[in-house]
Homo-oligomer: A and B are copies of this chain.
Amino acid sequence: MTEMPGPRKSRKSTLKAAPGGVNIDTVAEAAGVSAATVSRILNATAAVSAAKKQAVADAIARLGFVPNPVARGLARGRTLSIGVVTQSIDSPFYGDALRGIEDELASSDYSPLFVSGHWDAQTEGRCIETLRARRVDGLIVFTGRSSDAALRTCAKALPVVVVGRSLKAPGLFALNFDNFEGGRLATEHLIGLGHRRIAFIGGDPGHPDAAERQRGYAAALQAAGIACEPGLVVAGRYHEESGLQAVEQLLRSRQRFSAVFAANDQMAVGAALGLHRLGLAVPADVSLIGFDDLVSSAFSIPPLTTVHYPGLKLGRLAALSMLQLLRGARPAAAIPAPRIVVRESTRLLAA
């Protein structure tokens, strides 16, 4: 008899060993019920008598018990965490988006797990591997370099929300901002002010939204009957320095232009400094428009006219959609339409 240790007994003996750990068994014992009952109360997974419910609640409060998500994850096969793939956590734009996700998830039981792909398909792939190895319950991918096929494959295993591209697949929800329309609006705004020689500072052409913004630029020019001059289009890399270099290149190649459309605010700010250094005033000598509407852009000198890209809201919507997907519901988020925020960096072309 003594050779056959009951599971109950052996468990209790190791309880003290767990460092500072009060678990469901402790609570159950303290409340005079079984662990199963405690679990049922915790998850509202079955009816329990009011008396026991009270006793358990008391025990939990008294012992300061907090369910262990790790164990819960193992048992239920869910971790209550959702993976978020961004490109770089230190970019102001992604900061807003992550903040939106954080805000939306705060009122749920889920926690976000942020990783950065650094604009590299391979790195991004590893990130997704890590996230899936950690058994996240869902995946939110911002733009990203992964192939559509890869994302589709992911979506077979777990719910996926992609922001920044259009893609249809089961288990996957795409939330795409209309970058084309944004680019078109920006260019149209300049054209409406009388500008005809409009330079464009683009992002990495391999990046979908950068390409879309450029398409919008071209479309607006064409609609206005303005020929698109290749010499006025220069590639940047979405950061300030590249915006500055772009205008230097423009000036060096002796291009004439009265306005510049930069594919994001960071490049626009860099361009502004470049123009300033070269003795050109914004907007007196050249009008400048950006894209993103970062908070800081409202405080540049002059305050930047730009296309409002609602990063915070998009993050929020992405998280909300993920929550719905997780709940088995079909998300139906309404994506805000692009709009121009007119400030002081653009003005009528002097006659």
A300 in contact (CB, < 8 A): yes
A269 contacts B74, C-beta separation under 8 Å: no
> Which of A87-95, A187-195, A206-214 contacts the other chain?
A87-95
Q: Which residues of B contact A301 (CB under 8 A)?
A: 272-273, 276, 300-301
Of B111, B135, B270, the contact of A130 (CB 8 Å cutoff): B111
Q: Which residues of B contact A95 (CB under 8 A)?
A: 89-92, 95
A134 contacts B70, C-beta separation under 8 Å: yes
Q: Which residues of B contact A115 (CB under 8 A)?
A: 102, 111
Copies in the complex: 2
A73 in contact (CB, < 8 A): yes
A98 contacts B89, C-beta separation under 8 Å: yes
Q: Which residues of B contact A71 (CB under 8 A)?
A: 74
CA distance A133 to B88 in the complex (A): 27
A70 contacts B135, C-beta separation under 8 Å: yes
A113 in contact (CB, < 8 A): yes
Interface of chain A residues 74 through 113 with chain B (CB within 8 A):
74, 77, 79, 88-92, 95-96, 98-99, 102, 111-113
Q: Interface majority SS on A: helix, strand, loop or mixed?
A: helix
A96 contacts B90, C-beta separation under 8 Å: yes
Of B116, B240, B269, the contact of A102 (CB 8 Å cutoff): B116
CA distance A299 to B111 in the complex (A): 36
CA distance A132 to B326 in the complex (A): 24
Q: Which residues of B contact A67 (CB under 8 A)?
A: 133
A69 in contact (CB, < 8 A): yes
A68 in contact (CB, < 8 A): yes
CA distance A96 to B95 in the complex (A): 11
Contacts A69-B133, A71-B74, A134-B111: A240 and B99 contacting too (C-beta < 8 A)?
Answer: no
Taking the nearest CB of chain B, how far is it from the CB of A104, in angstroms?
13
* Smallest Cβ-Cβ distance to A272: which chain B residue: B301
Interface of chain A residues 230 through 281 with chain B (CB within 8 A):
239-241, 244, 266, 269-270, 272-273, 276
B113 contacts A111, C-beta separation under 8 Å: yes
A296 contacts B269, C-beta separation under 8 Å: yes
Q: Which residues of B contact A269 (CB under 8 A)?
A: 296, 299-300
B99 contacts A116, C-beta separation under 8 Å: yes
CA distance A91 to B157 in the complex (A): 34
Select the residue from A239, A276, A295, A296 with max chain B CB neighbours within 10 A: A296
Binding site for B on A (CB under 8 A): 19-20, 66-71, 73-74, 77, 79, 88-92, 95-96, 98-99, 102, 111-116, 129-130, 133-135, 157, 239-241, 244, 266, 269-270, 272-273, 276, 295-296, 298-301, 303, 312
